[in-house]
Chains A and B, each alone.
Chain A
Amino acid sequence: EAQVTQNPRYLITVTGKKLTVTCSQNMNHEYMSWYRQDPGLGLRQIYYSMNVEVTDKGDVPEGYKVSRKEKRNFPLILESPSPNQTSLYFCASSYGTNQPQHFGDGTRLSIL
């Protein structure tokens, strides 16, 4: 089954404790992206990747890192999480920017 898998689905953690949210897709998509979704602000792009070893900043990259060492995986790293990063996070993938994106089920992060 074609899918984008994110883990964990839920996480409560504390300020400053490094965490990684994993994202994996099995559709051989080249384009992958991370978003955060906050009430009243909609989906905002954090980082995206056009292909292996090619990543770039979206609109809200501060406080996040990503890597794309393999085509299927695109982890989101919060080196020193802060409460303002409490949000719902989605990973998405597609063949290209003008192809439909497939979204993971989301990761709800709470940082205390």
Chain B
Amino acid sequence: GQNIDQPTEMTATEGAIVQINCTYQTSGFNGLFWYQQHAGEAPTFLSYNVLDGLEEKGRFSSFLSRSKGYSYLLLKELQMKDSASYLCAVTTSGTYKYIFGTGTRLKVLA
């Protein structure tokens, strides 16, 4: 079967660093996306990993280990506006489907 696991909820303090983990089990793997979704809004793209390693984009970084079926999103210097849900999604080889995890709701406290 195909499955993506993320923690349901996390809490962190403004200015801190938080790591959101994502593990996946899919029949074939093509790439992994992270999206941010504020309450009541549409998801917006954050990052994409296809090869093992770390991709850095300003305050946000994403890591992928294909052999372990594992990714994380690292958010540095947290700001209040980072309070949102973070969605991990995998695209599978052989099909053109997207599979999303259920998302991690991050609360940033002052």
Contacts and interface: CB of A to CB of B under 8 A. Distances in A.
B100 A43 contact: yes
Contacts, number: 60
Interface residues of B, number: 23
A97 B100 contact: no
A45 B48 contact: no
Nearest to B43: A103
10 contacts: A35-B100, A42-B87, A42-B100, A48-B96, A48-B97, A90-B42, A98-B30, A100-B48, A101-B43, A101-B98
Interface residues of A, number: 24
Interface string A35-63: 10000111111001010000010110000
Contact of A97 (B41, B43, B87, B96): B96
Question: Which applies to chain A's interface (DSSP): helix, strand, loop or mixed?
Answer: strand
Contact of B100 (A40, A44, A50): A44
Interface of A: 31, 33, 35, 40-45, 48, 50, 56, 58-59, 90, 97-98, 100-106
A59 B97 contact: yes
A33 B98 contact: yes
